[in-house]
Amino acid sequence: MALDSDQVGYERRGPVALVTIDRTERRNAVDGPTAELLAAAHDRFEADDDARVMVLAGAGEEAFCAGADLKALATLGPRLDSPDGPLGFTRRTPAKPAIAAISGWCVAGGLELALWCDLRIATETARLGFTERRFGVPLIDGGTQRLPRIVGLGRALDLILTGRIVDAAEAHALGLVTEVVAPGGHLDRALELAEGLAAFPQETLLADRRAAIEGLGLPLADGLALEAGAGPATYAAALAGAQRFAGGEGRGGAGAGA
């Protein structure tokens, strides 16, 4: 589906692809057409070798995303069995890093979209939770699988079973949110972090990311074997990087976006 709607914006900012859900009148909730546009945005990001990191945001300050649009739930029905996921791309695993820029409400399927991302930057105003628990809608956009992998099973079950909403400070303490920023600063900080990731040598960054994601849940020996496979595959890139470091590049200990 072509990105020809104002419901989902796609913008290249250097090496970063900024994808914005723009349905502020519905707290950026996702209906069927919006889900199709999100899937198209993800396809565009994956196909563009020069887009190294994706930032996912919601328009305005009130909400990142309120999940599925309950007033248009029937439009999402055809996507329930989609291999891509009801809300666009939630059953895929991106080949490149993604960062969620969160302000205000990040609930229900919106939280599942945020969990799809590698990192989550949230403002002090952010509120996160699986509010669909209250009205009997299941988590089918990856929440039951991704949240335990991020915060651990015990903390995940607390949020999944109770449906309670946590503020940004608690979300950060749980490990659900990567960083908390002042109101209005989420997008700039996410873009800054994304540009930092994009500036690193990509071959080894992507190999390490892939080993961490694919190795989770494997027996330790299998995970170590998976990691070891990246050594020969990235040896030339690693050798060149080590030589650059020996020449003075990359010293000082600062990380991306520091």
Residues 6+ apart with CB under 8 A from 116: 56, 89, 90, 94, 98, 100, 141, 142, 146
**Mean of the per-residue pLDDT values of the chain:** 92
Is 112 known to be catalytic?
Answer: yes
CATH fold label, 8-198: 2-enoyl-CoA Hydratase; Chain A, domain 1 (3.90.226)
Among 112, 179, 195, 227, the one annotated catalytic: 112
CB 16 within 8 A of CB 191: yes
User: What's the pLDDT score for residue 123?
Assistant: 98
pLDDT tens digits for range 27-42 = 999 999 999 999 999 9
Closest to 164 measured CA to CA, from 200, 129, 117: 129
User: What's the pLDDT score for residue 120?
Assistant: 98
pLDDT tens digits for range 50-88 = 999 999 999 999 999 999 999 998 999 889 999 999 999
Average pLDDT over residues 206-232: 92
pLDDT tens digits for range 91-114 = 999 999 999 999 999 999 999 999
Average pLDDT over residues 152-171: 98
User: What's the pLDDT score for residue 5?
Assistant: 65
Least confident residue range of 96-100, 132-136, 156-160, 251-255: 251-255
User: What's the pLDDT score for residue 258?
Assistant: 60
CB 117 within 8 A of CB 174: no
What is the value of pTM for the model shown? 0.91
Is 132 known to be catalytic?
Answer: yes
Among 25, 46, 132, 195, the one annotated catalytic: 132
Average pLDDT over residues 229-255: 66
Tell me the C-alpha distance between 138 and 154, whole Å.
19
Domain boundaries, the chain: 8-198, 201-246
